[in-house]
Copies of this chain bind each other. A is one copy, B any other.
């Protein structure tokens, strides 16, 4: 194909494949360690890039990522495409009505969240620009503005994800945080757009800063009002008269690309256009959840990992790591944002504990800071030292966010079935003909799984069963008991082909039997696990899939893939 020969095309496919695979693997490892996935994705790039592979095995690195101008052009274009789509998804998560509903508190949080860290950043960049790694050629004012924005920006996607994980997204606190983050993001990117236009890194024309400012404000206003309304009116027509879901998918993506081209042409960055288009698209109540998910999943799990991993590829993170600078950046960012937002939340009428939690929630910089830093790096505004510090700051603030909120608000995650069903507790097919035999089989598995005496377990469960039968209907039974001194809950599970009578209200014999053991002190866990089983297995689809699961791993896979919310 034109521009790239067969060898380069092979390398292109190989490096995309290896990069995606590595990025996804490290993102999963990060998740297992309760860290943000973007950390793993960056790390994958760091490992494959000049930092590690390039140092340890330069030949392998040069083979996988050759310095060929055609390939560089391809990857440059692909990276832009990926980040444009990433910002489209980020925009789709914005809910404008939330911003209005949380009015006072959100305004106060976001204003203090912008001006306190932004002000400190601006002041420091004026006093010690060289210590902060300003490039020799960079304009002092532009650099100050950039550093202020870099300290003030927030990261809606990471923040939304953290709140979802903590089950706080729909709470009052969550709504205030989201509204403030939306406002911060809009302001931050709008300001950064203007900084970029100040730098004149524009698309082949020179209309001057006034043109850019007017166009930017005009386009923003248009997208948030008329553009949004227009899309909302078009959507039912598109869904009624075109292929489902191809019509909406194609329309959303092509409009995002065109909007991105437009903002790039205006003289601000392409991502601003797709972000605004994302807001307009995501705001329409006619958009179906399925469309949202298809775009979100493909972008979050394919394009975003490739983008963030490719960032790791571009910079040597060890060679350009500067302790002093990183600590300054981290301190300024955290102190400014946490203090500013906490103060703003108090002023907006939130209680002290919630206010502090809001401060830590807003402090997460995540992927947005990295995108911002990369643009500044590519446009010669900052050097690699500062870029590395910003990336580290983005990751550290994101990592702190969840655990700090959890500890400040004293939250505990509701225990789920999948947390306590171990491989040893999975019996598979039961041979039992009645409930007593079933309880015996499962008690043995549970006892094995938790190092208990099977007879103690069996007796306790039978005693409980005698009080009231535990068949809950739909062919499910959950015999359970409390066991003295159990360190953590234990679940055993078995299936019966013919069904075992557990005296359920609907009279259906139980085909899926869960045995749940909890300690006396851990009252909440029993209720949570029972509720989780009842909720998940209330779906016929899941029950059917569970029946076909032959092994522990297949059963876990069914649990996870049929209940996407957990």
Query: Residues on A close to B: CB < 8 A?
Result: 1-7, 9-14, 16-18, 20-21, 23-24, 27-28, 31, 37, 69-81, 84, 201-204, 235-247, 249-251, 253-258, 260-261, 264-265, 270, 286, 288, 290, 293-294, 297-298, 300-302, 305, 378, 551, 553-557, 559-561, 564
Distance, CA A498 to CA B387, complexed state (A): 62
B300 touches A20 (CB 8 A): no
Main secondary structure of the interface of A (DSSP, over half): helix
A298 touches B294 (CB 8 A): yes
Known interface pairs A73-B4, A557-B240; A253-B12 also in contact (CB < 8 Å): no
Identical chains in the assembly: 2
A17 touches B254 (CB 8 A): yes
Which of B24, B75, B286, B559 is close to A247, meaning CB atoms less than 8 Å apart? B24
Which of B27, B256, B261, B551 is close to A236, meaning CB atoms less than 8 Å apart? B551
Min CB distance A198 to B, Å, is 15
Which of B250, B300, B561 is close to A239, meaning CB atoms less than 8 Å apart? B561
Which of B4, B78, B249, B300 is close to A76, meaning CB atoms less than 8 Å apart? B4
B12 touches A258 (CB 8 A): no
Smallest CB gap from A562: residue in B: B288
B270 touches A9 (CB 8 A): yes
Min CB distance A104 to B, Å, is 31
Min CB distance A85 to B, Å, is 10
Q: Which residues of B contact A245 (CB under 8 A)?
A: 297, 301, 561, 564
Min CB distance A384 to B, Å, is 14
Known interface pairs A28-B243, A294-B297, A301-B250; A204-B557 also in contact (CB < 8 Å): no
Distance, CA A71 to CA B255, complexed state (A): 21
Task: Show 20 residue pairs from A and B whose CB-CB distance is below 8 angstroms, ordered by the A residue.
Answer: A3-B70, A6-B204, A9-B264, A10-B203, A13-B81, A13-B257, A13-B258, A14-B257, A17-B254, A24-B247, A28-B247, A69-B73, A70-B73, A73-B74, A240-B553, A240-B556, A244-B560, A245-B301, A286-B554, A286-B557
Distance, CA A78 to CA B293, complexed state (A): 24
Q: Which residues of B contact A305 (CB under 8 A)?
A: 250
B10 touches A270 (CB 8 A): yes
Most buried by B among A5, A17, A204: A17
B12 touches A80 (CB 8 A): yes
Smallest CB gap from A24: residue in B: B250
10 tightest A-B CB contacts, nearest first = A17-B257, A3-B73, A240-B556, A7-B204, A24-B250, A239-B557, A1-B76, A14-B261, A246-B301, A70-B73
A261 touches B10 (CB 8 A): yes
B298 touches A235 (CB 8 A): no
Q: Which residues of B contact A3 (CB under 8 A)?
A: 69-70, 72-77
Q: Which residues of B contact A254 (CB under 8 A)?
A: 16-18, 20-21, 24
Distance, CA A80 to CA B14, complexed state (A): 12
Min CB distance A539 to B, Å, is 13
Smallest CB gap from A204: residue in B: B7
Q: Which residues of B contact A73 (CB under 8 A)?
A: 2-4, 69-71, 73-74
B557 touches A235 (CB 8 A): yes
Smallest CB gap from A556: residue in B: B240
Q: Which residues of B contact A235 (CB under 8 A)?
A: 557
Which of B244, B246, B301 is close to A249, meaning CB atoms less than 8 Å apart? B301
Smallest CB gap from A554: residue in B: B236
B300 touches A21 (CB 8 A): no
Q: Which residues of B contact A79 (CB under 8 A)?
A: 1
Smallest CB gap from A314: residue in B: B2
Distance, CA A247 to CA B28, complexed state (A): 8
Min CB distance A145 to B, Å, is 20
A31 touches B81 (CB 8 A): no
Q: Which residues of B contact A37 (CB under 8 A)?
A: 243
Min CB distance A542 to B, Å, is 12
Distance, CA A553 to CA B286, complexed state (A): 11
Min CB distance A258 to B, Å, is 4
Smallest CB gap from A566: residue in B: B244
Most buried by B among A73, A75, A202, A301: A73
Smallest CB gap from A29: residue in B: B242
Which of B24, B249, B261, B297 is close to A302, meaning CB atoms less than 8 Å apart? B249
B78 touches A250 (CB 8 A): no
A1 touches B240 (CB 8 A): no
Q: Which residues of B contact A11 (CB under 8 A)?
A: 261
Distance, CA A294 to CA B258, complexed state (A): 24
Which of B77, B244, B270 is close to A561, meaning CB atoms less than 8 Å apart? B244
Min CB distance A227 to B, Å, is 15
